[in-house]
Structures are given as C-alpha cells and as structure tokens.
Chain A
C-alpha cells in the first residue's frame, strides 16, 4: 500500500481575509479524499494537535489545523501564544467560524479533495466544532467533550463564553459526540440536554460516553488519559468520517 504523505506549515485565508498560519497534512494520492479541519484546544496549536492532523492524513484524509492565535502571536511558541490570546480575551466566536470557513475552503480547493469536509475539536475546540457546524456547510462534525455547548453556568463563574445549544437546529451535518462519564464540564446532564435538543431539531447524531473516563481522556501525555476509551473513541471518529466524508 502506498502511504506517503506531506505534512507542513502553510498559510490560508481566514476570517476577514486575514492570512493565518496552519498545519496541513495530506496523503500523496490523487484522491478523491475527504477533508478534516482540526480545531486546536485552548492551550494552543501544539505538538499534540499537529500529531492529530498527521493521524488523519495517515488514515486517508486531507487535514488542516488553523492556528487560531496567529493574529495575536505570530511565530510564538504555542504556550506563549495561548497566554497572549487568553490575556486578550480569547478567540471570538465569529472569528472562529471565519477561520474554520477558510480552512474548509483550503481543503476543498485541494486537487485531491472530494469536496466533503468535517470538523473536530477537543475541550474548547469541541464547542467550536459544534459552533462551526451550525454556521457553515459541512458534512460531519465531531465534538470531543466540549464544555458549554449546553449546561448551566455555575453561579459566580466568570464565564466569557455562552452556551450555544440553541444552535442545534442550525447544524448542517451529522454530529458525533464523544464524552467521559466522569466529566463535570460537560456533565452527563449537559450531554443529555444536548441530545434532547438534537432530537427535537430532528438532527442526525451519535453520542458515546465512556465510563471511568473524565475530561481530556484522549490526551496521551496527561494523567487523565484512558487508553481503552481513547482507542475506541478514535475508532468511532474514523468510522464516522469514513461514512460521512467518503467519496
């Protein structure tokens, strides 16, 4: 089997026509291939996220991760960029949607593209994957334990993002949700609330919640890593994308 791929830093056109940095990985085949926009988590455009981009390419998808902190911290290390973006109030929802739109357009513009694009994000990126799918024409969206898609903001919690469950009716594509049963944000109740909203809106979705897994269980370098849940979760994600992003 021919399995060569190219992984590299590129630039693409994001929100407001801004040029932003991105990390792209593409199988060196003629295609046609589906594409995946990887939305990095709040700690930034880091090595773990880039590894995920390469994994999707190794599995036969074109993949790209826009650096959502390009504007605040061009060329900075991921942790410095994350701190800078955070001090400035984080990534506005509107800008996130514009940057994902740019990444999706980049993927669809590749000669090997089949025109089908999905999103995936973990933690804050999970919420943003849902957000993007509610505003953009996509073919599949994956939300891995995204906090504050639904749920109640604790009293006194100085939250700078608002729940967006009401956007369920606007989803343009099927949603795969991967959660940990021990997670508090999103809690099993918040996940159930999202499921009800999706049902009420008549949307196609598929949820998997893993026992003995909390927040961030996919991250191999964190104490919350749960190998069985993460391995099965990856299988579910790839199966979902093959069904919805296949030629």
Chain B
C-alpha cells in the first residue's frame, strides 16, 4: 500500500550525498514502498536539504526491525556519552 504517511523533523548536521558532504536541514520518515530494498514496505528515511535541490539527499530504506535496532543503537550511544556532548549547544 502507499501509506501517504510522512513524518518530518528539522535537523542540523551533515550527510554524504552522491556529490559529497552537504549540510542537512530536514529528515523525512515514512513507512512505504522502498525504491531498492527487496521488501514490499520499509521504513524510509531521507535526510534532505531542500535549498540545495532534490539531489541533496541521503536515503536509507530499513526493515522495521532494523529501524528499531537503529533507534536503540542511537539511544545507547547517546547514553554512553556525557549528556549534551553532541548537542548544538554543548554544555560549557
């Protein structure tokens, strides 16, 4: 099914696109048909910078299990680091 579901988040950081590193401003998450992954549906995460055009994009297509494992890995990595270390405004 085409779920039409789309979650957007404002982000700060960089990603490596087809043309090299670019600043990223938007993350888009949807559960829908993948372009490439061999599954009917995947969790599709696009890191975008709309100001730089459609090809300013870093894309991943993950199974539900993989997406949840990724969330846990991010949480674990953040929990293991000093609080605020990777914040846009790190503690003084």
CA distance A84 to B54 in the complex (A): 6
Q: B38, A72: Cβ atoms under 8 Å?
A: no
CA distance A185 to B46 in the complex (A): 24
Q: Tell me if A77 is interfacial: C-beta within 8 Å of chain B.
A: yes
Q: A215, B1: Cβ atoms under 8 Å?
A: yes
Q: A123, B4: Cβ atoms under 8 Å?
A: no
What chain A residues lie within 8 Å of B54 (beta carbons)?
A: 72-73, 76-77, 80-81, 83-84
Interface majority SS (helix, strand, loop, mixed), chain A: loop
What chain B residues lie within 8 Å of A124 (beta carbons)?
A: 2, 4
CA distance A101 to B63 in the complex (A): 38
CA distance A76 to B46 in the complex (A): 15
Q: A185, B59: Cβ atoms under 8 Å?
A: no
Pick the interface stretch among B28-36, B74-82, B83-91: B28-36
Partner of B1, one of A73, A160, A185, A223: A185
Partner of A158, one of B5, B50, B59: B5
Distance of A17 from chain B, by nearest CB (Å): 23
Q: Tell me if A216 is interfacial: C-beta within 8 Å of chain B.
A: yes
CA distance A189 to B53 in the complex (A): 42
Distance of A55 from chain B, by nearest CB (Å): 21
Distance of B2 from chain A, by nearest CB (Å): 4
What chain B residues lie within 8 Å of A246 (beta carbons)?
A: none
Q: Tell me if B71 is interfacial: C-beta within 8 Å of chain A.
A: no
Q: B59, A216: Cβ atoms under 8 Å?
A: no
Q: Tell me if A183 is interfacial: C-beta within 8 Å of chain B.
A: yes
- Closest B residue to A72 by beta carbon equals B54
Partner of A87, one of B4, B6, B39: B6
Chain B interface (Cβ < 8 Å from any Cβ of A): 1-6, 8, 26, 28, 30, 32-33, 35, 38-40, 46, 48, 50, 53-55, 57, 59
Chain A interface (Cβ < 8 Å from any Cβ of B): 41-43, 46, 72-73, 76-84, 86-87, 89-90, 123-124, 147-148, 157-161, 183-185, 214-216, 222-224
